[in-house]
Amino acid sequence: MKHYIIPIFIPHYGCKHQCVFCNQRKITGLDTPVGPDEVANIIDEHLAMITKPRHVEAAFYGGSFTALPLKMQTLLLQPAFQALKTGKIHAIRLSTRPDAITPEILKNLLALGVSIVELGVQSLDEKVLILSARGHSVGHVVSAAQVLREYGFTLGIQVMPGLPGEDMNSITKTASRLLSLKPDIVRIYPTLVIADTRLAKLYQEGKYLPLTINEAVRRAAFLKLLCENNKIKVIRTGLQATEELANQSVVLAGPYHPSFGELVDAHLFDLLVEKFISSRSGCPELTIHYHWREESKVRGQANANTKKWKSVYGLENIVFVPDGQVSGQVVLEADRTAYAINKIMLTV
């Protein structure tokens, strides 16, 4: 059954920190506190739009939910909890800061039906956390992950490639520590320069250089491949496309793309095919078998992968056959040789 997420944004309401990259009001288009009546209305509005059976989750995003006063957390969760008890929704999730987790808070969340907690970790390099003014340490992340596990929550981790001070050594450090936390799910959001943030000021002063789209795709693909090869599910790469993010007065710079996740998957398919054809010189034709749902990812956006394989490796003809049975895998045929390859066979 497909998932349906009911997004409920709490714009910077509970967070006591101002990270260099953050302006929740610009991102969400909201600048007023959300109350329990509005939460109930949001849930009802979304439920009215669902026409097919779905696994429905109410998701509280932004605002560092568990940094809110405990009474406010309870008031906001009550409408979702009532919907959960009556079977209208099937789960409640929220995102929060790693340093806003205590046993008292978690007991309250459990009593109100929350089962999934995502930590806005962003980086697991102390230097990057300091330069980004996160206000928490790697130690906070480790402690929060441990206690969430102890209380039985599904653990999510959110990371942001491209933060100030990050390089490939840093992203590798983050990846290694991320695996040691063993989260159930991961989100990967490349860093964007949002208007009216300290990062915007640094960018305008020439003190911060955002990632290009290509470099952001490579770093996100590296993290996604490493997670999936260790049986950690990556549930999103890139921010959900919105009118606010498409507005150039909101996103001043950085690797925003409405189909960023597809670009990442296309890059991984490019690596799969290159692994095969790079070892076969003078091969004029290649046949690629793939799952029919992944045709655009295999070909690449605007046929970018197809064009690259032809120009770089001299392929005269590429035949695409959408008869694959396994998502994330391709079967390649050339010179009467067939070879099945998937992401696990890629090195990171």
Residue 25 scores a pLDDT above 60: no
Q: Mind listing the pLDDT tens digit for each residue in 223-259?
A: 999 999 999 999 999 987 776 667 778 899 999 999 9
Q: Can you spell out the DSSP letters for 207-266?
A: S--PPPHHHHHHHHHHHHHHHHHTT-EEEEESPPP-HHHH-TTTEEES---TTHHHHHHH
Q: Mind listing the pLDDT tens digit for each residue in 286-330?
A: 999 999 999 999 999 999 999 999 999 889 999 999 999 899 999
Q: Mind listing the pLDDT tens digit for each residue in 82-130?
A: 999 999 999 999 999 999 999 999 999 999 999 999 999 999 999 999 9
Question: What is residue 63's predicted lDDT score, i.e. its pLDDT?
Answer: 64
Q: What percent of the chain has pLDDT over 90?
A: 75
Average pLDDT, the chain: 91
Cα–Cα distance, 163 to 122 (Å, whole number): 8
Cα–Cα distance, 223 to 168 (Å, whole number): 11
Q: Mind listing the pLDDT tens digit for each residue in 120-158?
A: 999 999 999 999 988 899 999 999 999 999 999 999 999
Residue 17 scores a pLDDT above 80: no
What end-to-end distance do the CA atoms of the chain give, in Å?
32
> What tokens appear for 237 in the block?
């790469």
Domains of the chain, CATH where assigned: 3-258 (3.20.20.70), 279-345 (3.40.30.60)
